[in-house]
Every structure is written in structure tokens, then in C-alpha cells.
Amino acid sequence: MMYDWLYNLTGNEILAMFIVSLLPLFVFILPFALFAVLMERKVSAHMQDRLGPMRTGYHGILQTVADIFKLLQKEDLVPTATDKTLFNFAPLLVFIGSYAAFAAIPFSGFFIGSKIDLGLIFIVGVTGLVVAGILMAGWASNNKYSLLGAMRAAAQIISYEIPTLMIILMIVMLTGTLSLYDLSELQTAYFWNWLILGGPAVGLQKILLIPFMIMGCLIIYTSTLAEVNRTPFDIPEAESELVSGYHTEYSGMKFAMFFLAEYANMFAVSAIVAVLFFGGYQSPFGYLGNTLGWTWLVPIEQFFWFTSKGLFFVFVQMWLRWTLPRFRVDQLMAFCWKYLIPFSFVILLLVGLIALM
Amino acid sequence: MRDYIYNFWQGLYTILIGMKVTFRHLFVPAVTIQYPSVKPQLPERERNRLYVNMDDCIGCDQCARACPVNCIEIETVKSIPGEDLGTTSNGKKKALWVTTFNIDFAKCCYCQLCVFPCPTVCIYMTDVYEFSEFQRENLVFDFVTLLPEERIQKKKNFEELQVKKEAEKIAAVKKTAEEKAAALANKPPEPKQDGKEEIK
Amino acid sequence: MTQYSIQNTKDSKLKTEEMVLNMGPQHPSTHGVLRLELQIDGEIIIDVVPHIGYLHRCFEKHCEAMTYPQIIPYTDRMDYLASMYNEFGYALAMERLMKIEVPERVEYIRVIMGELQRIASHLVALGTYGADIGAFTPFLFCFRDRERILHLFEITCGARLLYNYIWIGGLSHDLHPDFIRLTKEFIKDFRPNVKELNELLSYNRIFIERTANVGILPIETAINYGVTGPNLRASGLKWDLRRDDPYSAYHKFDYEIPVGSGEKGKTGDCWDRYYVRVLEMEESLKIIEQAIDTIPDGDVSSAIPKRVKPPEGQIYTRVENPRGELGYFIISDGSLNPARVKVRAPSFVTMQVFPELCKGFMVADVVAILGSVDIVLGEIDR
């Protein structure tokens, strides 16, 4: 694949490995994070009948670049009474937790960072580091309100991991594989082979599975929305009733790390939903490269489909943010434990029964 | 149990309706006006910075009295006889030189109360709103058209006139006192009148 | 959301301590400079002590040094979101004191301006309430509609927020020739926007969860404290000064008085207070339509006295502000300046009942309750 191609090209193992590991980070994720910030501002502006950034560059394209320059030159304030090690390390942990998940996500049939068999478990485990980072940020800030916000964030993320895992378990039961690459390869050819429409196997099982798959998709989308702290679950970060949550005391580049990590996380969970239910990088109707005979076009097309599906789900996340008000903390927990978890259990059982048929 | 399912369905349904509203608004053109490249069209009765047309000002002080925050400062000087100050646009003849007419726009509350009492409509509100300054003193606008030397000159003229009038008054009083003294020396004594019959 | 009882924590063996949390004068969610001292036990509120006075500008003392027409720009600045009504109340009080009869056209125009101002004020209340709860989009939609109303005011008297329009004995300008056409267009465009606001915010399940059964104001408590306006009507009592103590031309129009009905929770909770304001906007539209269609001709400045010198005496007049009963008590000693002007501000009275509303609810609910009660600090502090 990508690694072999690069090895053939350069003849050097280490150089090939180096490029393969850095490529998704610099070519895709960082530019994506910059693009997502601008997209959020423009989408929110047009939904609210206004224009958004218009002055930096043509229609505001260079706005995020300007923001990054601004954050780079800001003074890096570290309050004196904080726990300095934890304070400095927390943004790093949140950043690592969000970006490391991209190692196991297949960007196209040709390129995947690391083709491990336990892709899904790796992703869920690594995004759990974010909780540790948030708690460290809240505690080290030496601020009553940050601590409150951080504890709520931790409770929220931990609770919402459970429905996520239930639905992932459901997919694993049906398909028998944890690797995201194999899951994408499974949903080949046309869109009726996608898992949201029952999977590649034809028969009664496929028809019966459709309502459960749709429910499962909704549940995992909602619970991953809570994992990335987006409205309506943004108690930790938006102006809560007191102040700005766990990243109040951060300024300059550290704040930028929290910020960019949030957008990267959004894309990661959208990518996961796309891979699990919507065919990953597979195109809904065949490949132009195959019909024309140019097989080198196929990976590029696959990358295009993957990105558009990911961007579509990111757009839906932003759409939800600007439509819905915020939950209160106890209502948020009630929603998870009283609604999502029972539903996901029931779906798991029923899908298991169907899979036995 | 029924409430449970109802709550869940209600939640989903209202969220979808809300999303439909926001999605529809994506295609509504924006209502933003991109100031400062596009400036909004202000209506004709707009109340922004004041303007005083000193040719029409008769120095009546009505606007300064009407102002609720005392931001208009007017000082006038009477003219000496023989000077022609001109007439205002609606025919009034001016009789006072206005030597100070300061409006402090940092204090002005743009209430328009000074515009209505003016008999010649020389103070009115324009639609200028972009007049910020870096120093607070620059917001005190001086509307008088006389040059500083002329102002001093007019004041001096008036003072000289006052002095002359005082001198004339003293001379006139002196003269009447002398005349009275002279008349008293030459007048015959008057018969005394009995006023008792007049009282009724 | 039910009110939590604090008895359990008192009986338990663990000793808990009350914490004092300060929602300071500068805060994104308090509407103005208000300091709330919250005494909380964990998450539950035991007492709220509001500290006001950060916006005190000595309005009542100023009035004693100025002539009666000069006071009108100052009354504008008390409740700066509903300036027309402040002027309206003051002009009405002075006209009753001086026994001036204003022409009918003046009455009709005052009613139209007052009702437009009521819609504008309610739009701010609803928009900022949504923004406090977390829904940022309805805030912008409300302000977009409010811009149209402010444009209507701008073409009439030249100012967008602080008008100096309603004078003692009449008005400063007559209606602009385009006013009626633009108002009719506005009404036509506004009704679907109210429906859209309902779809986006009022009937949203999450919003209902946040506001229903929170901050319940029983009728008895409201009457005892003297709460008026939409807050009282949301608790169930149909009391509106436009109907029960009519002034100006309100008796000529046909409109309903919306009352809170406990549709989504108990009567008198935050959702009711919010929804009564939405319904009131619709009623105001009805009044404006009727007034515009039947406005008589006349001269708006014929009854304005040259010098305002009222006879000796005192008077109390009350009007229905968008926030409640706004009262003016004026003592005149026969000279050009008043001896005393006292204003009964509705938000001030509402702040008295605010601690009662918050007891037993969680810290997150304080913001919801404060937004639903719709206070303006300019009015409280004067």
C-alpha cells in the first residue's frame, strides 16, 4: 500500500515510515482543522442571516490563518498558584488524544496509517486520554469554576462512552472484525451494501436489520457528539452559568491546541460513523477509474468520498450546534443513562438474535 | 412507559423541525451591510451632530436654556449704534454680536430639544456621526465665524460704549442737579394746600 | 424539574457546609450590572442576595433641577429598551396634572409607538433568553426583526433607541409619510417570523426541559410582592393596566390578554413567562393593525404648552410597561421645576421576588430564572 509504494520509491525503510506517519497529520488534519474553524463561522453566519468573516482574504478565507498568527504572538500566561507540570502538560494530552485516533482510520484503500486488527478498540482507548487531559486542565488551573467544569466534562465523556461501545459491539457482532480497514472493504460496490442498509449479505437478515441500524447510527452519532463536547452537550466549554469552563486560564498557543483538538476530534468521530455505517471510503455508485480503465484514479476517488462523508457529518454537527439549546448537567446524565443506554442494550440484544439466524 | 416513548419521540421531532428552520435560513440572503465600504442610507429626520449657521443666529440664548445637559455655551455682546450686523434669512434684524458659541459634543445627548425653540432655525441636527476624536477637548466645537481679533474688538467697542454712556450719565445727572438747584433758587414759594376736604 | 428539598442533607450524619458563590457584576448572563450572591449547598440554592446600584445615576434628584420638558430625555434612559413607554407614562402624568386634552391623533400615534416598542422590548427579552439557555440562533433572528422596528422609529423621530418623541401635550414630530406603508409591510413579514421562533425555540424539547417547572411563582406570592406585567399574567392572573385602568386610546381596540396556563409544566414557571411574552407580541400586532387603519387626522403639536408650569399638586399615574406597571409620582410646587419625581419601576419590584423564585433549584437554573423574569438594570437603579 502506501508504505510499500514509498519504500519502492525511496528504497529507505525509515524515510518511508516517517512520511507515512506524518502525512495524515500535516497534509490533512491540520489544514482540515483550519478549514473547519472557518467553515463553522461561515455556516453559523449564513444560518443566522449574516455574513461571517469577510475581510481577511476573499470572503474571509484567510481568517483562521490570521487567528493562528494572533494566538502565536499572545503572551503565554501561567498563573502562579497552579500546578505547573500538569498545567503545561494538559493541552498536550488533549491534543495527542484527539490526533492519535487518526492512525487507525482508513483514508482510502491505498492509505491507512496503521493497519492493526484492533482499530476500533485502539481509537476508543486513545480518545479516552482526552478525559485525563481535561481533568488535569481543570485541576491545575486552581480555579473553582474550572474544576467544576472539568469534573462535569469528565463525567459526561465517561458516561457517553458506554452507548458508543455498545453500538460498536453491535457492528462487531455482525461483521466479525474490529479493523476499520476490513470494515470499509466489506461494504464494497454500491450503496445498498453499506451497513446502514443492512450490510453486504443479501437476504431476510438484511431487511430486518435496517431499522436497528438506523437507530444505532443515531445513537452513536449522539453519543460521540457528547464525547467531543458539542452543543447540546457543551456544558464544559461554552459559557456555563459561571465562566468559560476548563480552558479559562489558558491563553495563546495552549488554548489553540485545545481549540484545534476539538475540531480534529469532531472529524475523527464523523469519520468513525462514516466508516461504520456509511461505507468508509467506498463510493455509492462504482468508480470512474474502474470504468475508464485508469486504476490509479481509484484511490484518489476513494479519498474524495471519504472526505465528503466526513465533512457532511461535521456539517451536521455544526448544524445541530446552531439550532439547539444546551442541556443542563443532570438532564444530560439522565439522557445518557435513562435513554441511550437502555436503547443500545435492547438494540444489541435484538441484533444479536437476528445475527444468529 | 407511555410517557417515556412520548418524551423520546417529542424530543426527536422538535429537534428535526428546528433543524429544518435553520437549514432554510442557509439560503436566505444575509441582512448585513458591510460598513464602512457600504454606508446605510439615513432618513431625513436623523439626529446626529448639531450644526449652527451663524449667519442666522441672533444670540437669543433659547437653545442654551433648553438643553438638559448644559452643553451649549453662548456669550453675546451688544453692538454699538451705527453698526450693521445684517438680517437673518427670515427677516429679523440682528442686534447682538455672538462672541462665544461652544457646543461640547461629549456632553450632548442628541435629544433635539435645542432645535425647536430657535426662532430662526439656525441650529439643526445633521446626519454626521463619524466624528470621533482622540482628545476629549477636540469635541468642543466652536461655531462663531468672527475671528478672535474681531471678538476682542467687539468686546472692547462695547466696553468703550459703556464707559462713554456712564460718563454721559454722570454728566447728565450733574447737569440736572445743577439745573434743579438753579430753578429752586429762582422759584416763588407755593401756597400750601388743605387736603382735608378731599378725603371721603 | 422538581424542587429539591434540603431536609435530607440536614438530617444526614455528614456535615456539609454552605458555599457562597458570586455571580459578579460583569457576567455574560446577567442582564446588565447585577451582582448575585448565591448561597449554595452543593448544587442547590439556599438563598440569593441581589446587590444592585451599579447603574445608579440619580435620575430622581436630577429631575428637581430641570424643567419639565427637559426631563423627558432622562426618562428615556431609565428603561432603555422600552423608551417610548417611559416617556408615555411621564407625559400622561403631566397632562393629568395640568389638565391638558391632547388631540385624538396624538393618542393613536402614542398607542402605535407604544405597542411597537413593546414588541421590540419583548424581542430583546426572548432573544437574550434563548442565548442564555444556549441557543444562539434565535437571538439573531429576534434582533433582525427588531432592526425593522428601530428603522420605523428612526424615520419618525431620528433616533433608534432614546427617542425624546412623546412630549407633554403632544409629540415632537408627526408621522413620516412612509410610516404606515412600512409598518404594514413589517406586520406582514413579522407574523411568519413569530411562528418560526416558536418552531425553533419555544416548542423545542430541550428548551422545555430547561424551563418548565423551574422558578415557579404562585399567584399569591406574586400579588403579595406587587409583581405586575407578564410575570403576573404568567402566574395565572388576568391583570393588564390597558384593560383594568385604561389610559390613552386603549379602550377603543379589541385585543386579548394572554395568561399563563401551565401548558408545559406548572402555571407560573419560566416557560409560561416566556410564552406569555410571545403571545403578547401577537396581541400588540393586532392593536397596531387596528390603530393604523382608523387613525384620525389632526395636528400633533397643537396642545403643547409654550411653558410647562403646572399648578401646585401631586399625581400618580401608571402605565403598562413591557415589564409591568410603571408608575410616576410627581409633586409640583407651582414653579418650572418639579419638587419631586418618583418612579415605581417594575423590575425593581421583580428583583424582590427573585430570591423566592430561586430557592431550592440548582445553580444552572438561576440563569434560566433571571432571563425569564426580564429585568433591565437601568430601571432598577435609575
Contacts of B125 in chain C (CB under 8 A): 158
- pTM strictly above 0.90: no
Asked whether the predicted pLDDT for residue C1 surpasses 50, the reply is no
Inspect the interface and report whether the beta carbons of C137 and B10 lie closer than 8 Å.
no
With an 8 Å Cβ cutoff, are C154 and B125 in contact?
Answer: no
Give per-residue pLDDT as tens, A126-174.
Answer: 888 888 888 888 888 877 777 777 888 888 889 999 999 999 999 888 8
Please say whether the dihedral angle defined by the alpha carbons of residues A29, A31, A33 and A36, taken in this order, is positive or negative: negative
Q: Pick the residue of A324, A332, A339 with the most C CBs within 10 A to test the interface with C by mutation.
A: A324
Any C CB within 8 A of B132 CB: no
Closest Cβ–Cβ partner in C69, C74, C158 for B125:
C158
pLDDT at A2 over 50: yes
Q: Is the CB of C75 inside 8 Å of chain B's CB atoms?
A: no
| Mutual angle of helices A119-127 and A144-175, in 10-degree steps | 170
Q: State mean pLDDT over B167-178.
A: 88
CA distance linking residue C109 with residue C290, whole number of Å: 12
Contacts of C145 (CB under 8 A, 6+ apart): C123, C190, C193
Asked if B22 lies within 8 A of A49 by C-beta distance, the reply is no
- Strand, helix or coil for residue C365: helix
CB A326 to CB C134 under 8 A? yes
- Say whether residue C70 is in contact with chain B using an 8 A CB cutoff: yes
- The answer to whether the CB atoms of C362 and A328 lie below 8 A apart is yes
pLDDT band at C190 (very low <50, low <70, confident <90, very high): very high
Answer whether B19 sits within 8 Å of A319, measured CB to CB. yes
DSSP state of C119: H
C66, C73, C157: residue with CB nearest B45: C157
Contact C131, C102 (CB under 8 A): no
Nearest CA in chain A to B20: A323
List the single best residue of B8, B111, B116 to mutate versus C (max C Cβ within 10 A).
B111
Q: What is the CB neighbour count within 10 angstroms for residue C155?
A: 19
Burial (Cβ within 10 Å: 0-12, 13-18, ≥19) of residue C226: middle
Q: Which residues does chain B have within 8 Å of residue A45's beta carbon, measured at their own beta carbons?
A: 30
User: Could you give the dihedral angle defined by the CA atoms of residues C98, C100, C106 and C108, in that order, rounded to the nearest 10 degrees?
Assistant: 90
| Greatest Cα-to-Cα distance within chain A, rounded to the nearest angstrom | 66
pLDDT score, position A192: 78
- The closest alpha carbon to A55, from C140, B32, C137, B134, belongs to B32
Q: What is the pLDDT of residues C202-235, one digit of tens each?
A: 888 888 888 888 889 999 999 999 999 999 999 9
Give the span between the Cα atoms of A47 and C140, in whole angstroms: 10
Q: Name the average pLDDT for chain C.
A: 88
The verdict on C268 touching B (C-beta cutoff 8 Å) is no
Q: How far is B130 from chain A (nearest CA, A)?
A: 21
CB pairs under 8 A between B and C: 66
C13-40 pLDDT tens trace:
666 677 788 887 877 666 788 888 888 8
Q: Which chains have at least 3 CB atom pairs separated by less than 8 Å from chain A? A: B, C
In chain C, residues with a C-beta closer than 8 Å to the C-beta of A241 are: 23, 29, 363-364, 366-367
pLDDT in tens, B97-150: 888 888 999 998 898 898 988 888 888 888 888 888 899 888 898 888 878 888
Phi, psi of C346 (to 5 degrees): -65, -35
Give, for A272, the enclosing helix (H) or strand (E).
helix A253-278
Residue from A242, A313, A315 nearest A43 by CA: A315
Question: Rounded distance, CA C311 to CA C326, Å?
Answer: 23
- Residue A239: pLDDT band (50, 70, 90) is low
Concatenated DSSP letters for C1-13? -PPPPSHHHHHSS
The answer to whether the CB atoms of C147 and B31 lie below 8 A apart is yes
